Amino acid sequence: NAGVMQNPRHLVRRRGQEARLRCSPMKGHSHVYWYRQLPEEGLKFMVYLQKENIIDESGMPKERFSAEFPKEGPSILRIQQVVRGDSAAYFCASSDDRGFSNQPQHFGDGTRLSIL
Protein backbone atom coordinates (compact mmCIF):
# COMPACT_ATOMS: atom_id res chain seq x y z
CA ASN A 1 0.00 0.00 0.00
CA ALA A 2 1.66 3.17 -1.18
CA GLY A 3 -0.80 5.47 0.60
CA VAL A 4 -0.35 7.63 3.67
CA MET A 5 0.16 5.38 6.69
CA GLN A 6 -0.83 6.42 10.17
CA ASN A 7 -0.37 4.50 13.37
CA PRO A 8 -1.77 3.63 15.69
CA ARG A 9 -5.32 3.65 14.35
CA HIS A 10 -6.69 3.91 17.87
CA LEU A 11 -4.94 5.28 20.93
CA VAL A 12 -6.26 5.44 24.47
CA ARG A 13 -4.54 7.60 27.05
CA ARG A 14 -5.34 8.74 30.57
CA ARG A 15 -5.35 12.41 31.44
CA GLY A 16 -1.82 13.68 31.95
CA GLN A 17 -0.12 11.08 29.75
CA GLU A 18 1.63 11.71 26.46
CA ALA A 19 0.27 10.74 23.05
CA ARG A 20 2.50 10.14 20.02
CA LEU A 21 0.93 9.87 16.61
CA ARG A 22 2.94 8.74 13.61
CA CYS A 23 2.55 9.42 9.92
CA SER A 24 4.49 8.05 6.97
CA PRO A 25 3.72 10.04 3.80
CA MET A 26 3.13 8.59 0.39
CA LYS A 27 6.25 7.52 -1.42
CA GLY A 28 7.89 10.52 -3.03
CA HIS A 29 6.04 13.06 -0.88
CA SER A 30 8.00 15.36 1.38
CA HIS A 31 5.19 17.67 2.49
CA VAL A 32 3.14 16.58 5.51
CA TYR A 33 0.06 18.17 7.05
CA TRP A 34 -1.76 17.37 10.27
CA TYR A 35 -5.47 18.04 10.77
CA ARG A 36 -7.80 17.42 13.70
CA GLN A 37 -11.41 16.38 13.40
CA LEU A 38 -13.63 16.83 16.42
CA PRO A 39 -16.94 14.92 16.58
CA GLU A 40 -19.56 16.33 14.20
CA GLU A 41 -17.09 18.88 12.81
CA GLY A 42 -14.92 19.30 9.75
CA LEU A 43 -11.17 19.02 9.70
CA LYS A 44 -9.11 21.84 11.18
CA PHE A 45 -5.58 22.51 10.00
CA MET A 46 -2.89 22.15 12.64
CA VAL A 47 0.58 22.17 11.09
CA TYR A 48 2.45 21.87 7.80
CA LEU A 49 5.95 20.40 7.67
CA GLN A 50 8.59 19.61 5.14
CA LYS A 51 11.57 17.45 5.93
CA GLU A 52 13.21 18.86 9.09
CA ASN A 53 11.25 22.12 8.87
CA ILE A 54 7.98 23.46 10.22
CA ILE A 55 6.51 25.65 7.52
CA ASP A 56 3.18 26.69 9.03
CA GLU A 57 2.04 25.95 12.58
CA SER A 58 -0.71 28.52 12.74
CA GLY A 59 -3.29 25.89 13.74
CA MET A 60 -1.34 24.31 16.55
CA PRO A 61 -2.35 25.00 20.16
CA LYS A 62 0.36 27.07 21.84
CA GLU A 63 1.00 24.59 24.61
CA ARG A 64 1.41 20.81 24.88
CA PHE A 65 1.37 20.16 21.11
CA SER A 66 4.45 19.71 18.94
CA ALA A 67 5.24 18.18 15.57
CA GLU A 68 8.34 17.06 13.75
CA PHE A 69 9.27 15.51 10.44
CA PRO A 70 12.86 14.28 10.70
CA LYS A 71 15.16 13.59 7.81
CA GLU A 72 14.65 9.88 8.37
CA GLY A 73 11.46 8.28 9.63
CA PRO A 74 7.85 9.29 9.99
CA SER A 75 6.34 12.58 11.03
CA ILE A 76 5.34 12.66 14.70
CA LEU A 77 2.56 14.66 16.32
CA ARG A 78 3.14 14.77 20.06
CA ILE A 79 0.61 15.81 22.67
CA GLN A 80 1.90 16.17 26.20
CA GLN A 81 -0.24 16.01 29.35
CA VAL A 82 -3.37 15.12 27.42
CA VAL A 83 -6.77 16.37 28.52
CA ARG A 84 -10.27 15.15 27.66
CA GLY A 85 -10.67 17.89 25.08
CA ASP A 86 -7.84 16.35 23.04
CA SER A 87 -10.11 13.42 22.15
CA ALA A 88 -10.49 13.57 18.40
CA ALA A 89 -9.47 11.98 15.13
CA TYR A 90 -6.10 13.19 13.92
CA PHE A 91 -5.44 12.97 10.21
CA CYS A 92 -2.20 13.23 8.36
CA ALA A 93 -1.98 14.20 4.70
CA SER A 94 0.91 14.42 2.28
CA SER A 95 1.55 16.06 -1.05
CA ASP A 96 4.30 15.92 -3.60
CA ASP A 97 7.46 17.93 -3.85
CA ARG A 98 6.16 20.74 -5.96
CA GLY A 99 5.59 23.11 -3.06
CA PHE A 100 2.83 25.58 -3.80
CA SER A 101 1.42 23.30 -6.44
CA ASN A 102 -2.13 22.50 -7.30
CA GLN A 103 -1.74 18.86 -6.37
CA PRO A 104 -4.25 17.44 -3.90
CA GLN A 105 -3.31 16.34 -0.44
CA HIS A 106 -3.69 12.60 0.17
CA PHE A 107 -4.97 11.53 3.55
CA GLY A 108 -4.31 8.63 5.86
CA ASP A 109 -7.06 6.81 7.74
CA GLY A 110 -6.37 8.75 10.91
CA THR A 111 -5.60 8.05 14.55
CA ARG A 112 -8.57 8.14 16.88
CA LEU A 113 -7.39 9.42 20.23
CA SER A 114 -9.51 8.78 23.30
CA ILE A 115 -8.69 10.32 26.66
CA LEU A 116 -10.02 8.59 29.76
- C-alpha distances in angstroms, 37 versus 34, 73, 98? 10, 25, 27
Nearer to other proteins by Cβ, of 55 and 116: the residue is 55
| CA 19 to mean position of chain CA atoms | 12
Q: How far is the CB of 13 from other proteins (least distance, A)?
A: 19
Q: How far is the CB of 17 from other proteins (least distance, A)?
A: 24
Q: How far is the CB of 16 from other proteins (least distance, A)?
A: 27
Nearer to other proteins by Cβ, of 90 and 115: the residue is 90
Nearer to other proteins by Cβ, of 58 and 63: the residue is 58
Site residues for other proteins per CB under 8 A? 4, 6, 31, 33, 35, 41-45, 48, 55-56, 58-59, 91, 93, 95, 99-100, 102, 104-110, 112
User: Is 27 in contact with 45 (CB distance < 8 Å)?
Assistant: no
In angstroms, the first-to-last Cα distance of the chain is 33
Alpha-carbon gap, residue 70 to 50, rounded angstroms: 9
User: Is 35 in contact with 91 (CB distance < 8 Å)?
Assistant: yes
Nearer to other proteins by Cβ, of 76 and 107: the residue is 107
